[in-house]
Structure 1
């Protein structure tokens, strides 16, 4: 087994953060790095690419709200099932995007 077969401590923290994001909410790659106080968007993206298949990967997103290329259909199905706020395309040439101001989660627990 090589070191790449197992997530590092940092990768485990990224994956735990992805799992903690509530249904219907998202964090950007940069948000996750800031929340952890370590790494940056690229490091978070790398962790998600290598190890994110077992967590709700669709909740860790690009800052512009675009759906993950190559995974748009699956991500959109998850967003719809969870009630994640979306921006409807204005034209046939556009695709869905996340409504980032409404969908973004700041890492704070919801008030009771």
Structure 2
């Protein structure tokens, strides 16, 4: 999912940055799957090389395909709860 999708699912569609903060602060304590969340462009958002590499490796271990160095193929890999109800509304 993207940060924006999570914010929208939580009822605050404009709160993507807060999702970033929450994942950063709470992922380790609550074992959140932070690595599965990317930005709306399908990109890994970390500028820190170690964090970037860690997220990319975790995604690749889950067979997520990249279309370039930092961009996930959103069409193939995005998760959308709405898609289960309406396949034409996947993102």
- TM-score, length-scaled by structure 1: 0.60
Q: Over residues 23-66 of structure 1, what are the superposed CA-to-partner deviations in whole Å (9 max), with x where a residue is unaligned?
A: xxxx1111001112136101111111111232211111111122
Q: Which runs of 5+ in 2 are unaligned?
A: 85-91
Q: 1:43 to 1:80 in 2, by over 3 A?
A: same
Paired residues in the alignment total: 78
What residue in structure 2 maps to residue 24 of structure 1?
none
Q: For the aligned residues, what is the CA RMSD?
A: 2.0
Separation (CA, whole Å) in 2 of partners of 1:109 and 1:63:
17
- TM-score, length-scaled by structure 2: 0.72
Separation (CA, whole Å) in 1 of partners of 2:79 and 2:26:
22
Q: Give the strand-richer structure, 1 or 2.
A: 1
Matches within 5 A, 1:58-69: 58-69=35-46
Separation (CA, whole Å) in 2 of partners of 1:68 and 1:108:
24
Q: Which runs of 5+ in 1 are unaligned?
A: 1-26, 90-94
Higher alpha-carbon Rg:
1
Separation (CA, whole Å) in 1 of partners of 2:82 and 2:43:
24
Task: Point out 4+ residue stretches in structure 1 off by more than 3 angstroms.
Answer: none
Matches within 5 A, 1:17-96: 27-38=1-12, 40-53=15-28, 54-69=31-46, 70=48, 71-87=51-67, 89=68, 95-96=69-70
